Amino acid sequence: MKHLDFREKNGYEKVKVTFYPANLNERPFELSIYVATADNDHYAGMADIDSIAKIIVESSGPSGTNKEYLYQLASAMRQLAPQQQDEHLFELEAAVRRLEIGESGAGQPSDCDMQS
């Protein structure tokens, strides 16, 4: 946990929550999550996918680049929870990859943004 606490130190609040596994035969358990707070100077708020992607491509921290963090998170989701489709995460991953190769669709809101 010390590694996570160090990595997530800037602009995140550590919150304990109860996790309910999809498998109803498994018992709920407590875990910690890191939540971005609006009072952080780097909080992007309700930005569109391409704006968030641009921030990710241009940013890094003590643990590495933000795009590598994003790619590893998306990969872990595919491996650990293939039945779950996190549309926002995967749209963001695709937008960052487009920016890396210079094919930005700038300013387009994501489908997730329009569902709210």
Which residues participate in catalysis according to the annotation? 8
Residue 114 corresponds to which tokens in the numbers above?
């329009």
What residue has token string 């890191």? 34
Name which of 62, 66, 11, 14 is nearest 41 in CA terms. Answer: 11
Contact call for residues 57 and 82 (beta carbons, < 8 A) = no
How far apart, in whole angstroms, are the C-alpha atoms of residue 48 and residue 10?
A: 22
